[in-house]
């Protein structure tokens, strides 16, 4: 039941303690939790920017409706999706899959052609939406791992994605900001930290068919 208790402990932290920093050891665990997230075909068509530069974070705060979490949290993680799937992405995946499975990369040609054909059937807009959705799986893994370590998080969609793309130079990398997650430790001044968790009942949420 540790997982459930951790989920009851966590909440979307509104005010972080700017004096508390995540250790390198715990940060490595959080990064690995994102790395191990499930993604469609295993392609991992996203990148996570860990914004440490204070000037960048100061610029990002106004693009985040002025929310203090952007500058006060120990770390700011910006989940970015690749807006298109390139041949380089597919070749890279084939290479690491062949290496992990100790098989010739040529033996994957049929599987890679299958992936290619499914992607070609999608419009550019559908590809962008699909890859953006993948970031949320990584975000969920991050939040769950953080809760186990009693590290606070605040998943945020309240930001101007175009401003993020501009400030972080994402478009030049074929990326777009999808979702943001400040990570750190709650402040004792956060008035929401002791608020009751509001959720639908199990009866309302689930239906057996």
Count of domains observed in the chain: 1
Q: Domain containing 126: what range?
A: 2-205
Residue 1: is its pLDDT beyond 80?
no
Structure-block tokens of residue 201: 């009942």
Strands across the sheet containing 175-184: 46-51, 75-82, 175-184, 152-153
pTM of the predicted model, to two decimals? 0.96
Q: Residue 201: which CATH number?
A: 3.40.109.10
84 falls in which pLDDT band (50, 70, 90)? very high
Structure-block tokens of residue 105: 């990369």
């Amino acid at each position: 039941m540790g997982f459930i208790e951790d989920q009851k402990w966590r909440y979307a932290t509104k005010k972080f303690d700017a004096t508390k920093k995540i250790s390198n050891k715990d940060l490595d665990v959080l990064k690995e939790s994102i790395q191990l997230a499930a993604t469609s075909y295993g392609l991992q068509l996203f990148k996570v920017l860990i914004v440490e530069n204070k000037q960048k974070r100061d610029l990002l705060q106004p693009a985040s409706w002025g929310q203090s979490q952007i500058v006060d949290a120990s770390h700011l993680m910006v989940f970015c999706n690749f807006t298109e799937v390139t041949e380089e992405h597919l070749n890279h995946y084939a290479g690491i899959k062949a290496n992990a499975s100790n098989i010739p990369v040529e033996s994957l040609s049929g599987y890679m052609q299958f992936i290619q054909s499914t992607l070609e059937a999608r419009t550019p807009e559908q590809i962008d939406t699909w890859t953006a959705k993948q970031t949320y799986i990584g975000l969920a893994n991050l939040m769950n791992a953080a809760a186990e370590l009693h590290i606070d998080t605040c998943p945020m969609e309240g930001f101007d994605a175009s401003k993020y793309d501009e400030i972080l130079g994402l478009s030049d990398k074929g990326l777009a900001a999808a979702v943001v997650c400040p990570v750190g430790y709650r402040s004792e001044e956060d008035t929401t930290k002791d608020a009751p968790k509001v959720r639908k009942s199990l009866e309302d949420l689930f239906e057996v068919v």
